[in-house]
Amino acid sequence: MKHFLSIAELNTDELWNLLQLAHDLKAEWKAGGNDPILKGKVLGMLFQKPSLRTRVSFEVGMVHLGGSAMYLSPNEIQLGKRETTADVARVLSRYVQGIMARVFAHRDIEELAAYSDVPVINGLSGYNHPCQALGDVFTAWEKLGDLAGRKLAFIGDGNNVANSLLFAGTKLGMDVTVASPAGYEPHPGVVRLARGFAAESGARVEVSNVPADAVQGADVIYTDVWASMGQEEEAELRKRRFVGFQVNEALVARAKPEAIVMHCLPAHRGEEITDAVADGPQSALFDEAENRLHAQKAVLATLLGPRSLGG
């Protein structure tokens, strides 16, 4: 691993190594603290989109590992406007040991990586959200044990989170079903790629327009907001189109009795998920949010550690 741009780019061993390292780092932290393996290292955090979990978890993760992080706001950088993305990558590479970027266009992440001399981490792009999915499958592994043969049902927009879950789930042998309204399914190219991973792991991928069918036999029910950042003008239209795609108690009852419910947050309670489910006994929402921290520490330790590209 030189960068962490998409789970689709990892092989299964690399993905499992990150999950095992996340487990070990979490246990180490709970037992008294992590070793300061990133002492003297600085992570530059470049944001085009605001964030609670991404900013705080990366900054705290660097502190846990002995390093530090620097927040760069949208107004400070303005990728491709005030300065070219390539020049931003070249300059930041002279100052920091790693770059985490949260952007709209995935091509910006790819260009940062192409011109950077230090590791680049995708904190979110319009194409995928690998840090979120890594934390998600780590949480599912903690809660359910062996993931091979388990079923994950994603209910809602076929967005960047759905894409990364398709990649991560199928690489780990999970059956993944995405249920979206017509016209909001995952991109066919993403589905083809995930089906290729599924063929290697023995998993299955299905795309549906019927949530009740999608959650049958599910071990994990996952949802996300119906309108992501940058889609605010579509919010009212999407509310109408996504009627029937709410994760509520009736839908959860169709899954396995021990199924867990996940959401990447922030949640629009009363829209894609109800309070009764988000705060209910099957909810893993806040364990999932916590695990972003430990999963990302695994990425940081792998990319910025003593023998890494940024070391």
- Which residues are catalytically annotated? 102, 129, 132, 224, 264, 292
Give the integer Cα–Cα distance in Å for 53 and 36: 22
The beta-carbon contacts of 192-200 under 8 Å, at least 24 apart in sequence, are: 193/8, 193/166, 193/167, 194/166, 194/167, 194/169, 194/170, 195/170, 197/8, 197/167, 197/170, 197/171, 198/170, 200/12
297 near 64, Cβ under 8 Å? yes
> Residue 290, Cα to own-chain centre: how many angstroms?
13
Residues in Cβ contact with 65 at an 8 Å cutoff, skipping those fewer than 6 apart: 34, 35, 36, 37, 38, 41, 297, 300, 301
